[in-house]
Amino acid sequence: MNIAVCAKRVPLSGGRWELTADNLDIDTSGASVGFTTSPHEECAAEAAVQLVEQLGGSSTVITLGVADSEEQIRSLLAVGVDRGVIIETDGSEWDPQATASALTEQIKAGSPDGAYDLVLLGTEAADTADFQVGIRMAHALGWPVVTNVKGMTIDGGVARCERAVGSAREVYEVTLPAVITVKDGLNIPRYPSVPGRIKARKKPVDTVIIEKPAARLEKVRLDLAVEEARSAEILGTGVDAVPALVEIFKNIGVL
Amino acid sequence: MILVLVDHDRGVLDATSVQALTAARALDSDVEVLLVGAAGRDAVAELATYGADTIHLAVHDTLTDYAPLASAKAALELVSSRSPRGIFTTGTPRGNEVLAHIAAILDAPMAAEVLSVTFGDAGVHEVVRNRWGGNLTETARVHNDLLLVAFAPHAIRAENATGAGNVNEFTPNLDAADTAVRVIDRTGGAATGVGLAEARVIVSGGRGVGGPEGFDVIEQLADLLSGAVGCSRVVTSNGWRPHSEQVGQTGTKVAPDLYIACGISGATQHIAGCRTSKTIIAINTDKDAPIMGYAHYAVIGDAQTILPELVAATRAAKE
Ligand SMILES: Cc1cc2nc3c(=O)[nH]c(=O)nc-3n(C[C@H](O)[C@H](O)[C@H](O)COP(=O)(O)OP(=O)(O)OC[C@H]3O[C@@H](n4cnc5c(N)ncnc54)[C@H](O)[C@@H]3O)c2cc1C
Ligand SMILES: Nc1ncnc2c1ncn2[C@@H]1O[C@H](COP(=O)(O)O)[C@@H](O)[C@H]1O
């Protein structure tokens, strides 16, 4: 079973976002901003590692992004993914159509262990939330696709997938090869172990460069969400503030 | 004409579907609606109360439950026969999914999480959409004649209007591959207690609660206030609580009357799930935690000592 995981490097801020002066990007120059992988995609990588442990084969993480995306790839290699591929960009954003076709080419090229049987992605990217890259890839590959998956088992080349509908779960089945887009909560991604990190340094990460097509969903500007600037009214310190809390419960009618 | 795709589950309308209908009616006097599956007939009367005049109902022997690709194929038949200038839908899992299938088949751009739309000339339209769970907005150009848009749920307030509710039943051309991915079974359901998404009060815990035992008092307080328990992602990724309780961008989005954040720092991805709560109270040892910029009230201190006292005082006040 050869599995590809498509994952993306995204900025992560401890507090509020700041934008660059041209309003085109998140300002990542500040000390409080780091980079990470979305929880959906961490769950996709964890699922790939578990499936390879269970069924054999190998897993590959594929990223379209800047060269520094190697940092996020290495952290997924540290939890057990076998290798990485970076489709290197200059940092400008690729729209979801361009992203899907670049990723699809890598799937068509296959892994060193042979053709891919399964492509795992997040349902939506953390930063852009386009909700479409996996579905576009499935069409380009001629494979079936299940999205929003929160439970998955694979047996005899068939994936049984569950997704939430209200408080219930609906069940889908697809025959591999297939594309499956998953959500946070699919599993609990493991933390990288020290040996895992050391092994990850030696795992192969290839880079490919392709030309960027014109955007058809074209970012013009970003703005921070408008909301009233708030500063919490401090009711007090420690247990002394308990009566004030109870008073608020009464005032807003929840008690 | 704008075609509106409706998300229904076995005939029960998703409440946000009619928001897309209102958005379409504000932009075009000519709006048509598509319901897929015979069960969709149950939603016709309600759609008419939101101004739907023409409702296409796609009925086929194989359409016994939700099947995303088949829904997209049904819509594509209307694209051919009715030539809409836009397809609008709601940004639910099903709404986004069906629209993305349409976009993939047409190789057309699609905008999700949309807040507002401006049709332009010459195949270039403008949308404003959410990014990062609503912490940022993006203004974007969409380069295609047919504009494919999924609205962010609750971005638009649905408005009632009188519609004729005329049903045009048709049988889409489907083959077996179109329903290969479909709902084949359902499990679970009818959860006990107050659901997170509907709760009027949510008592939520983060890393600062200290561990799974720290949630005992959170559960007690939630019970006393007839509310639900929530948590941050640190809590679910440590396995302290189930993911169904996670609030945030990759968890559940909630809008209760009261949200109590205990030992939660207020990362933007957490705030993305609770920013529209009417009142937010933070209990945190750090007076400079980001949550203080979103909370209405705060208590500075150790949640693990404050919560037991708060439970006792709340219980006493109820008696
Ligand atoms: C794409 C993406 C999506 C994400 N989605 C979500 C999501 O859906 N939901 C979510 O929650 N997170 C999400 N996250 C993670 C998020 O960025 C934060 O890491 C997470 O919310 C932090 O959880 P926390 O506040 O419990 O922990 P921390 O950030 O570690 O904060 C702990 C807080 O507790 C306080 N504290 C410590 N001890 C005490 C005490 N004894 N009493 C009171 N206070 C105390 C500290 O001062 C601190 O403010 C996402 C991240 C990414 C990248
Ligand atoms: N630049 C990228 N590199 C790798 N995977 C990506 C990239 N962009 C999107 N994806 C994958 O596609 C999923 C859906 O993205 P989107 O359709 O843009 O919301 C994400 O969760 C990722 O798994």
3-state secondary structure B44-62: HHHHHCECCCEEEEECCCC
Q: Residue B95: phi, psi to the nearest 5?
A: -60, -50
Residue ID of nearest Cα to ligand 1 atom 9? B248
**Parallel/antiparallel/unpaired status of strands A168-175 and B185-188:** antiparallel
- State mean pLDDT over B74-90: 98
- Asked if pLDDT for residue A196 goes beyond 90, the answer is yes
Quick one: closest CA in B to A145, which residue? B181
**Mean pLDDT within B105-110:** 98
Predicted local confidence at residue A13, as pLDDT: 82
pLDDT for the residue A31? 84
A16 contacts: CB under 8 Å, gap ≥ 6? A224, B135, B268, B290, B293
CA of A172, closest CA in chain B: separation in Å?
A: 5
Check pocket membership of A7 for ligand 2, CB cut-off 6 A. Answer: yes
In angstroms and rounded to an integer, the radius of gyration of the C-alpha atoms of chain A is 21
CB distance B201–A217 less than 8 Å?
no
- Band of pLDDT at residue B267, cut at 50, 70 and 90: very high
Digit-coded pLDDT (tens) for A94-129: 999 999 999 999 999 999 999 999 999 999 999 999
Residue A167's pLDDT band, with cuts at 50, 70 and 90, is confident
Residues 6+ away with beta carbon under 8 Å from B44: B35, B52, B55, B57, B165, B167
**Looking up tokens 């009230």, which residue turns up?**
B297
User: Per-residue pLDDT averaged across A22-32, rounded?
Assistant: 92
User: What pLDDT does B188 receive?
Assistant: 82
Interface contact A245-B310, CB threshold 8 A: yes
Q: Residues of A with CB below 8 A from B66's CB?
A: 170
* Summary mean pLDDT of chain B: 96
State the pLDDT at residue A226.
Answer: 80
B126 C-beta neighbours (distance < 10 Å), count: 17
The CA B285 to ligand 2 mean position distance, Å, reads 37
CB pairs under 8 A between A and B: 269
Residue A198 burial class via C-beta count within 10 angstroms: exposed 0-12, middle 13-18, buried 19 and up:
exposed
Q: Mind telling me how many Å the CA of B18 is from chain A's nearest CA? A: 18
Of A215-224, B129-138, B181-190, B310-319, the range with the lowest mean pLDDT is B181-190
> What separation in angstroms does the CA of B215 have from each of A24, A101, A194, B229, B243?
42, 46, 31, 9, 14
Q: What is the mean pLDDT of residues B148-171?
A: 96
Report the gap between the CA of A218 and the closest CA in chain B (Å).
5
Protein residue whose Cα sits closest to atom 2 of ligand 1: A38
* Residue A22 burial (C-beta neighbours within 10 Å; 0-12, 13-18, 19+): exposed
The mean-pLDDT minimum among A5-9, B113-117, B189-193 falls in: B189-193
C-alpha to C-alpha distance for A202 and A145, rounded to whole angstroms: 33
Summarize the confidence of residues B244-268 as an average pLDDT: 96
Question: Is A63 close to ligand 2, i.e. is its CB under 6 Å away?
Answer: yes
User: Mean pLDDT for chain A?
Assistant: 96
What would the 3-class secondary structure string for A157-173 be? CEEEEEEEECCEEEEEE
pLDDT at position B193: 66
ipTM higher than threshold 0.95 = yes
Task: Please tell me the number of the ligand nearest to residue B214's CA.
Answer: 1
3-state secondary structure A165-204: ECCEEEEEEEECCEEEEECCCCCCCCCCCHHHHHHHHHCC
- Residue B189 pLDDT > 80, yes or no? no
Give yes or no for residue A36 having a pLDDT over 90.
yes
**Dihedral of alpha carbons A38, B132, B147, B4, sign:** positive
**Pairing status of strand A168-175 against strand A158-165:** antiparallel
pLDDT at B197: 87
The pLDDT value given to residue A75: 97
The pLDDT of residue B192:
60
Give the bridge partners for A205, in sequence order.
A84
pLDDT average, residue stretch B130-150: 96
pLDDT digits (tens, 9 = 90+) for A139-166: 999 999 999 999 999 999 999 999 998 8
Rg (chain B; Cα; Å): 23
For residue A134, give the ligand 2 atom closest to its CA: 12
Span B228-250, mean pLDDT? 97
Q: Which amino acid is at A65?
A: G
Nearest to A238 among B143, B301, B318 (CB): B301
In ligand 2, which atom is closest to the CA atom of A38?
21
Query: DSSP assignment of chain B, as one string?
Result: -EEEE--EETTEEPTTHHHHHHHHHHH-S-EEEEEESGGGGGGHHHHHTBT--EEEEE--TT-SS--HHHHHHHHHHHHHHH--SEEEEE-SHHHHHHHHHHHHHHT--EEEEEEEEE--STTEEEEEEEEGGGTEEEEEEEESSSEEEEEPTTSS----B----EEEEE-----GGGGSS---EEEE---SS--TTT-SEEEEE-GGG-SGGGHHHHHHHHHHTT-EEEE-HHHHHTTSS-GGGBBSTTSB----SEEEEES----HHHHTTTTT-SEEEEEES-TTSGGGGT-SEEEES-HHHHHHHHHHHHHHHH-
- Provide the pLDDT for residue B194: 75
Label residue A56 left, alpha or beta by phi (over 0 means left) and psi (-120 to 50 means alpha): left
Peptide bond into A177 cis (omega under 30): yes
Report residue A120 as tokens: 């795992």
**Neighboring chain B residues of A244 at a CB cutoff of 8 Å:** 299
* Three-state DSSP class for residue A220: strand
Give every CB contact of residue B192 below 8 A, 6+ residues apart in sequence: none
Q: Give the CA diameter of chain A.
A: 66
Give Cα B36 to chain centroid, integer Å: 20
Rounded to the nearest whole angstrom, what is the distance from the C-alpha of residue B18 to the centroid of ligand 1? 35
How confident is the model over B208-237, as a mean pLDDT?
97
Mean pLDDT of B15-26: 97
* A10 beta partners: A36
* Strand A2-6 relative to strand A145-149, pairing: unpaired
Tell me the pLDDT band of B249, cut-offs 50, 70 and 90.
very high
Distance of CA B199 to the CA centre of its chain: 16
Taking 70 as the threshold, does the pLDDT of residue B191 lie above it?
no
**Taking residues B285-304, what's their average pLDDT?**
97
Tokens of residue A159, six digits:
């994936």
Q: Which two tokens stand for residue B113?
A: 């999480």
Burial grade of A81 (CB within 10 A; 0-12, 13-18, 19 or more): buried
Identify the pLDDT of residue B7.
Answer: 97
Of A163, A231, A254, the CB nearest to B258: A254
Measured in angstroms, the CA of B164 and the nearest CA of chain A are apart by: 30
Instruction: Note if the pTM is more than 0.95.
Output: yes
Q: Which of A199-213, A238-252, B179-193, B272-286 has the lowest mean pLDDT?
A: B179-193
Count of Cβ atoms closer than 10 Å to residue B133 Cβ: 24
Pick the atom of ligand 1 nearest to B291's CA: 49
Instruction: Give the whole-number percent of chain B exceeding pLDDT 70.
Output: 98
Q: Is the pLDDT of residue A209 over 90?
A: yes
- Ligand 1 atom having least distance to the Cα of B251: 8
Tens digit of pLDDT for each residue in A50-60?
999 999 999 99
